[in-house]
Amino acid sequence: MMTGEPEAHDSSYDIKNDQRRTKIHDLLKNYGERIQYSVFECELNRKEYQQLRDALDPLIDVEETDSVRFYRLCRECRSKLEHVGGRSARDNTAIII
């Protein structure tokens, strides 16, 4: 993957502390779209992904078992995504003029 080529990343978090959870939520919404309460879909190139990881590090308290998970999804895997109920995720193939 080249630096400028975006890849799909789904991220989820489990944070006990309200203040830290809010900060992590606010950070993630700058990089992607919230699709469930603590789950985000992000289209990130390698540089953006590293920026996000670097920004998360000081916010996570591993002593309190904070957890943020990233799932990188290839194009083929993303096309096999199945969604039932709730609102649909955004359509990244749409062109807005």
Q: Which residues are annotated as a binding site?
A: 14
Cα dihedral 14→20→24→25 (10° resolution): 80
Q: Which residues are annotated as a binding site for Mg(2+)?
A: 14
Cα dihedral 74→4→35→93 (10° resolution): -80
Q: Which residues pair with 42 in a beta bridge?
A: 9, 32
